Amino acid sequence: MAGQKGFYRIMIVVAIAGVAWLGWRVMAGPTLPVTVASGVPDTTGFTGYLIGDASAPIEIVEYADFQCPACAGFDQVQYPDVKSRLVDAGKAKFRYRDFPLEIHPEARLAAHAAACADDQGGFAAMKDALFQRQTAWSFQGDRKAYGIMGDLVSQLGLDRGGWEACMEAGRHAARIQASLEEGQRVGVGSTPTFLINGRLYPGMNSDAMVRLVDSLVTAASATP
């Protein structure tokens, strides 16, 4: 009888521990393996998000961090002018590349949020939304930031369930790490940094970018 009582006590303790663990998991939120590369090398050959005509004569590559205030400033103030005067005009194509800085704890999470939105054709809209709402999710911790980013996905009309599956699988973690390492190899040290015609330009504004691209287009057209 005593042995039976002991058995029941053990079962009760195990049950309580199980309920406590389940409660902790619910409160902790989903496991998000997007903040690390998971040690898996990127084999997709992904070279960034291309915006504009792939045949445009000049390519502007932006290395940026979604949690970087200067990147948000460029995206909201300068980028619309660049897109209108250069990309839409067919003078340049624009390529966005991830360069998540270690000082920004949610930068990889945001990069992955945009990558999973891109799976549904929603990169450009998610990029804009992440930068517009940067202060809402920045430095909030992965769990809260994840929820805010998920709300953005819903507001954009994307499939939130599919996006969450992509996020919780860490599907694009390796390519984000590969983008960071590629930027480091070419000498990127801060964000935003632009690679134009083989040269790096940290923190460039739209007027300077338009002048540079116009001069490159002119020089290219004058070359036999």
SS3 201: strand
CB 87 within 8 A of CB 93: yes
- Above 60 in pLDDT, residue 1? no
**Within 13 A of 30's CA, how many CA atoms are on the CB side?**
16
- Above 70 in pLDDT, residue 224? no
pLDDT of residue 162: 97
- Above 60 in pLDDT, residue 23? no
- Above 70 in pLDDT, residue 27? no
Minimal CA–CA distance to 85: which of 221, 195, 210? Answer: 210
Mean pLDDT of 13-40: 46
Q: At 10, is the pLDDT very low, low, confident or very high (cuts 50, 70, 90)? A: very low
% of the chain with per-residue pLDDT over 70: 82
- Above 50 in pLDDT, residue 25? no
Which stretch of DSSP H or E encloses residue 7? helix 2-28
Cis amide prior to 192 (ω within 30 degrees): yes
Mean pLDDT of 18-40: 47
- Above 70 in pLDDT, residue 31? no
CB 30 within 8 A of CB 169: no
Distance, in Å, from the CA atom of 172 to the CA atom of 97, rounded to the nearest integer, reads 13
**pLDDT, tens digit, for every residue of 178-187?**
999 999 999 9
DSSP assignment letter at 95: E
Angle at 169 between CA 167 and CA 172, to 5 degrees: 70
